[in-house]
Amino acid sequence: MISKNFREWTLDSIEEAFGVEQVFQLDELDELVSYSYQADEYETKYLSMLQANFMLGGDDWNETELENKFISPLIVFSDISTQQFSYFLERDLAATLGEYEVSGKVDGLIAGGFRNPKQPFFVLAEYKRGTDPNGDPKGQALIAMLAAQQRNESKHPVYGCYVIGRTWYFMVLQGKKYAISQDYSCANKEIFDIFRIMKSLKVRIEYILEKQRKAKEL
């Protein structure tokens, strides 16, 4: 058995080791990013304040500052947490994938559970500054998504996101195929798209949990 941390993986090494394939269109990703939601006056004011704070110095924040000053406030403000699933930070995730033991701390994780994560639905990778040349946030997100998929026995899509500086990318893994969205910048009006997609994610997770509940009743 070969043990490797999430940070050691790249898209190329993941595709070679596990036979996953990047595709340019995936229905589950289309559904995630096409969700319709219009921020109300209060939400618009708060998101604009977050954006203004970022524009004052966000490009120079380190990963911890970007996480605490912008990423987590936006995600928490999307009302993502319920008593059925919550947003967790810096939690351990591990899985056995073929001959590999993969593990690491996930920067952000939305999972079933109120106090501790159980069933993982969404992983967030990296908080890298745009000028940071080290690491592969796409690969680190995808390997954590594969670990989440294994934990879920491939019963539903796994969602992900990686952030490089001011730019957000969303991902979906379904079976052996994964897709990456267009880029969304938090420095312009696309901040409302990022917020809208987080709202969409909550709807998707609620849908998965409802399907699981109905399946248990049969």
Closest CA to 72 of 56, 87, 57: 87
Give the C-alpha separation, 108 to 67, whole Å: 9
Could you tell me which residues come within 8 angstroms of residue 24 by beta carbon, excluding any fewer than 6 positions away?
179
- Tell me what percent of the residues of the chain surpass a pLDDT of 70: 96
Residue-wise pLDDT for 51-73, tens only, equals 999 999 999 998 889 999 999 99
C-alpha 67 chain-centroid distance: 13
Q: How confident is the model at residue 216 (pLDDT cuts 50, 70, 90)?
A: confident
Query: Residue ranges of the domains in the chain?
Result: 2-217
Q: What is the mean pLDDT of the chain?
A: 93
At 8, which amino acid appears? Answer: E
Residue 131: the pLDDT is 47
Residue 88: the pLDDT is 96
Average pLDDT for residues 29-36, to the nearest whole number? 98
Residue 204: the pLDDT is 97
CB–CB of 20/142 below 8 Å? yes
Query: Quick check: 159 pLDDT over 70?
Result: yes
Residue 201: the pLDDT is 98
Query: Quick check: 147 pLDDT over 70?
Result: yes
